[in-house]
Amino acid sequence: MADVFTQTVILGSSMGCIRTSRCSRRKRRRWWEIVIVVWEVTVVSEIIIVCDALETFLDGMKYKLRLKNSLRRRFSNVFHWYQVLTVLAQDHISTLVISSWKDGAPVDQPSDYLRSWCPLCFGGNNWRNETRDSLPMPDVIVCIDVCFTQKRSANPRSATGSDPPNPTPSFFLPTDDVKAMEDFVERCHGDRRQARTSRAEPDEDSYEEGMRIPVSVLNGCGDSFIAADEKREKASTRFFTDTGLMALVCRHDHVLWIANLTSAGEKQHYALALLDWLFKHIPTQMTIGLLYDIGCQLERSCRKWSFLDDSTLSCIAFAVAVFHAYGHQWLCQIVYHPRKREGFSLSDGEGCEWLWSFLKPLIPSLCVSGSNQRLFVLDTQIRHLDSKSLQGFGHWLHRRWIHCQSKKNDALDRLHELELDKNMLRVEWNVRNS
């Protein structure tokens, strides 16, 4: 209720209606209309029941409504544009606050967009970590995952046109940028195929340029995962216009950007488009740890087809999400398992699963909604999830700190019981990973 009350005060003050004694009757009436909308926000989950009950009551009083569900539709329309208004008001206030101190802010910092959505990842001034063994130590950790259950029918309810767009900021990547990345990937495939026609196929025990595991291991991982097969159809484009979502979330499960999928399979250009947007918002020296179900295949493609230049690749530490790591080859696990990669700590790369679980109740309604309405509802839900999580960051840090210390003490106790020299163990570990 605190957030709703704050929004009401902001809207009322912008209309000059807080001091009702000096308001005109028309302004005062508008103020109470907003109060009614705020009340609707607090009971939005029960609005259908309330409208049905009110229509039944009016019908018993011999007040006939011309259209069925007219009250529900009117309230839904009012609620939609009230959400648009509150989002624009919050965005305007954030812009004013940021512009007031932007002149004195450091230049080599993440963008205001990233700093506002996750201050724990991007809000600090000292974000640099050390670089060891010629491998980048991640300054921030992000993960990518795909959900093919968030689809939209090709022609919901026999619609003849598209619904109007909403004038609000969105987590979704622009369609033109995703298409541009898709065209870039196709050009890279064509250029590299022509250059490789005269070359023999690499030996299975050889190493591709820049990779630390043999070709046979990479091929085995690629055959083990459906996600690695871009040609595998996971959602029919005949029946669905939008086939799924691919999200980029930070270490603290905050959504940074989302790509709307329109292809039948899990194409790599969606992940590359998300990474491209991330690098546009961070300093050139910042390194990221990327957790992805098929992180080994993504790195292989980036190096093999030159999707990313060497300077960008040097700023990425690829790893595999924990719950999918054991489906990879053993040599791949040694290199890409986050528990075996320095700098990833206890990050598991499964933050997107929390997001998909939170959005799961929306699947039936969004499957038959308009294109822009679907994106707006997803934006609204994600914005609510991030704001709610932001309020609990203190408890989150306290809980994770206790968990981390417990894991650390348990590991030290086990090492002490072995009575082995730590230097000898480090040498054995380095030999095993070499």
- pLDDT tens digits, 74-108: 777 777 777 787 878 777 777 776 665 555 555 58
Q: Assess if residue 428 is contained within a domain.
A: yes
322/406 same-domain check:
no
In-domain check, residue 93: yes
Residue 431 lies in a domain: yes
Answer yes or no: do 273 and 375 share one domain.
yes
Q: Are residues 29 and 99 in the same domain?
A: yes
Q: What share of the chain is helix, strand, coil (3-state, %, to 5)?
A: 60, 10, 35
Q: What integer pLDDT is reported at residue 274 of this predicted model?
A: 98
Same structural domain for residues 150 and 290?
yes
Give me 97's structure tokens. Answer: 């606050």
- Asked if 295 and 406 sit in the same domain, the reply is no
- 84 lies in the same domain as 197: no
Query: Same structural domain for residues 128 and 52?
Result: no
What DSSP element (H or E) covers 318?
A: strand 316-320
Question: Amino acid identity of 35?
Answer: V
Show pLDDT as tens, one digit a residue, over the chain (434 residues): 444 444 444 444 444 444 444 555 655 556 556 666 565 555 555 666 667 777 777 777 777 777 666 776 777 777 777 778 787 877 777 777 666 555 555 558 898 889 989 999 998 777 776 655 556 689 999 999 999 999 998 876 666 567 788 888 899 999 999 999 999 999 998 876 666 555 556 666 788 988 999 999 999 998 887 766 666 777 778 889 999 999 999 999 999 999 999 998 889 999 999 999 999 999 988 999 999 999 999 999 999 999 999 999 999 999 999 988 888 999 999 999 999 888 898 899 989 999 999 999 999 989 988 888 899 999 989 988 988 888 888 898 899 899 989 989 998 898 888 888 888 888 887 777 66
Q: Are 276 and 257 in contact (CB under 8 A)?
A: no
The reply to whether 75 and 141 lie within a common domain is no
| 110 within some domain | no
Residue 111: inside a domain = no
Q: Note whether 41 and 122 are same-domain residues.
A: no
Residue 109 belongs to a domain: no
83 and 223 belong to one structural domain: no
- Domain for residue 67, yes or no? yes
Contact 229, 265 (CB under 8 A): yes
Same domain, 223 and 205: yes
Choosing from 104, 128, 143, the residue where a domain stops is: 104
* 8 A C-beta contact, residue 389 and residue 254: yes
Residue span of the structural domain in which 6 resides:
2-104
User: How many domains, in total, are found in the chain?
Assistant: 3
Torsion angle, CA of 290/151/326/275, rounded to 10 degrees?
Answer: -10
Could you say which of 104, 125, 146 is where a domain stops? 104
pLDDT for 74 equals 73
CA distance 187 to 305: 10
User: Looking at residue 193, what is its pLDDT?
Assistant: 64
Residues 21 and 139 in one domain: no
